[in-house]
């Protein structure tokens, strides 16, 4: 299985359930691992034959900024749905990190995998 990845995409957004969180923006860090057959792109050396991580980054940034989610769980699910529905990704791993959300912890968030892995391991 080929993986195209985009890690540590930093997005400022409204996220959280508390009233004070709804009035400010906070930064989330998003990691994406996406199954995508790169054989055609490797042979042609043409951008149109691959999954453009620039296009993915722009779309996911817009989704997160416009979503004003309460939960990182909801955000991760919506990201996975966009990857499948709009980019044709058959499997993805989405990690949403809300750094600093818990005092004393460097990282907090969720990690989800959606779809069927081509290597049969998931």
Please check the confidence at residue 122 and state whether its pLDDT lies above 70.
no
pTM above 0.85, yes or no: yes
Instruction: Enumerate the domain spans of the chain.
Output: 3-115
Rg for the chain, CA atoms, rounded? 15
Which fold does the domain 3-115 belong to in CATH?
Answer: GTP Cyclohydrolase I, domain 2 (3.30.1130)
Out of 54, 58, 98, 99, pick the active-site residue: 98
* H helices, E strands: number in the chain: 4, 4
Q: What are the pLDDT digits (tens) for 51-109?
A: 999 999 999 999 999 999 999 999 999 999 999 999 999 999 999 999 888 888 889 99
Q: Are 57 and 83 in contact (CB under 8 A)?
A: no
Q: What is the pLDDT of residue 106?
A: 85
Say how far apart CA 16 and CA 14 lie, in whole Å: 7
Q: What are the pLDDT digits (tens) for 12-42?
A: 999 999 999 999 999 999 999 999 999 999 9
Instruction: Give yes or no: 98 in active site.
Output: yes
């Amino acid at each position: 299985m080929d993986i195209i990845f985009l890690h540590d995409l930093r997005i400022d957004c409204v996220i959280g359930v508390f009233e004070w969180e709804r009035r400010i923006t906070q930064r989330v860090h998003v990691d994406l691992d996406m199954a995508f057959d790169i054989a055609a792109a490797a042979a042609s050396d043409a951008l149109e034959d691959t999954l453009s991580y620039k296009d993915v980054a722009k779309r996911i940034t817009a989704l997160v900024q416009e979503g004003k989610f309460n939960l990182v769980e909801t955000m991760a699910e919506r990201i996975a749905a966009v990857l499948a529905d709009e980019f044709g990704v058959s499997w993805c791993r989405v990690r949403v990190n809300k750094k600093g959300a818990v005092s004393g912890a460097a990282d907090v968030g969720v990690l989800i995998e959606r779809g069927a892995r081509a290597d049969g391991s998931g």
